Structure 1
Amino acid sequence: MNKWLKFLYLPVFLVFTLGKAQEKLTIGEKQNLFSKVLNENREVWVHLPKTYHDATINPANYPVIYLLDGEINFEYYTGLTDFIARTPYADIPECIVVGIKNTERTRDLTPTKSQKKSPVNPAVTLFADSGESENFVKFLQDELKPFIRKNYRTQEYSVLVGHSFGGLFAVNTLLTHPDYFNAYVANDPSLWWDHKIMITKTKDYLEKNKKFPAGKSLYVSQADNEEQQKNWNSDMTQAIEEFKEIVEKNGSLNYKHGFFKGETHGTVSYPGNYEALKFIFNGFRTNIKQFAKNPELLEEDYKRLSEKTGAEFTPSEAYLNTIIKFMKSNDFKESETYFINLKNKLYPTMK
């Protein structure tokens, strides 16, 4: 009996001690706000950059990414943004990610009321709860964005990311409220909706305005849905390609279309979002080795990026610390002094 008690005691003790020493890894926090526009409570998930609470640097402001279908995309997307924002290999700035959890997805993300009848029962209208995206975008602009600005340190640069109906919503927001966001991502968007109404709206917009608004970016991904070709609704592919032709022919929008062979409608968002972020922030990546001989290049790079995006971007204090450490360890004294002075100019409150 004593032998068995000793045998059991050891693993129980180890579990207890290991459990006591464990630290939880968290990727975000839940926030709730009541929407007067939608007349319901909305839950959002907020991910903060790794340097957000770093006490060794000045408090910084960060661009914000508004991610639709948050309950599906939030976990992988936050890891993706952190990975490609890490210095000294950063392709994008560190960003706050706001994942928006759905309540009535079809209602919120579609621009018009569906008239589509069920092929099985013509008496049934498909997507009957559709057509209230204008209310949802009003919630984003008038309620959610002010809430995020009030509670977090944000920069005046924001990105809207959506997939399928969310991609439809992103394109519609660009056409109806282009100033609400700086950049838009539409992964395999449902541009087939309502007899391809987005194609009509795009043509109407360009006929009226001639060009897309300056300083805006749009990335569209497309899946090939190879294994579903026999059953897949070809309207999806046709509408996306039709939209692509119109936008590229006009040529005024900072636009990129990505086709992903072997990806389905359900998987294309992952590679699409990676490519979209690199496209939107193209020009953010800098070459630290070049700064040893020409330190002025850093400010020139950020100046070009700011002009392209229409928002002010400056090198973060964390990145400047990395550059200074590199210059010091490689004995580039003049460049080290240059970047110390630049850091003190941009972030004067902490030495």
Structure 2
Amino acid sequence: MGAVVAVALTTRWPLVGAVLALPVLPVATYLFGGSGILAMVIAAVTIEVIAARGLLTTGTVLVIAHVALSSIDLEQRAVVFDPVGLMFVGVFFVIVYAFGYNRHSQRRRRLELQRSLAASQRQQRLTVARDLHDSVATSLTSVVMRSQALELSVTGEDPADARVRTELEGISETSRNALEQLRAMLRVLNTELPDQSTEAAAPPLVRDALHNTVSELRAHRLKVETDVVLPPEDRLPVDRDAVARILVEMTSNAVKHSPSRSTVRLDCRVGTTDGSPRFLLSMTNAVTEGTLPYGGEDALFSTHIGLASMQSRATDAGGTISMGPVAEAPSLWRTALSLPIVE
């Protein structure tokens, strides 16, 4: 009865059951006159359960303890040294321990596989969220902002101008609805950003990315001042994809938060930091009073994914990025990127 209780306790409280099972073998041998088969089975079950629970050290100690206790003869009150018997008992318990260890290993591999699959699926979702944000969401934001700017430019009272305003209002409303739905989907997909993603298209040259940025800012009625001093493209080994993606996000934030016809300053050059050549890029723009990037009141235009996206891409490229109000001019917002150049 006590042996059954010991096994039952082992499944619930392994250490308690293991301790209670220790005297089973010598006591059973004493009570049943040398027939300890049942006791060995009870001890074997205990060892198997302990090993299967992952308590490998405890299981090893139990094997050694049970082998040692099997040599105790309570009836003779002596230790009987039988090499053949000890070897048989030892091999038996080692085999039982191996079964438990195998069960533990299978469970551990199964859990690792489940975690790996879950991490892979999560990685895919986060990659989709970031790429959608960097492409579709940014493009839709541009459509909304341009259509709103065109609405303000059509001021005539004739029927043709009225129709144009109506069409522009329709485009703007449709784009806002699509953007709102996309943002909602991105919030569901995104909780944190992945470390890596695979891009299908070749990234643009740095000069082309800068040119596209200037064109986009001017298309939204922003004045652009540039100070770009770069070596030839073939002598600028920098992560072009990171530069292009971060420039897109910088541009999107400047368009969303800058007052109309305000000035955006874009600086890009190769400098030296701590003795190492670095690619330095910064964008400084005014912000509408009462709003700041990543903290504005219009939730439609921000899911806060852009900040994490830029930080993630800069880190992946081995660089750093900083953003915030300019200390000497709080009405200005500056985003500065620093990437390593590998000679």
Query: Quick check: TM above 0.5?
Result: no
The structure number with the bigger radius of gyration is 2
Q: Tell me the TM-score normalised to structure 1 length.
A: 0.23
Q: Tell me the TM-score normalised to structure 2 length.
A: 0.24
Larger helix share, 1 or 2:
2
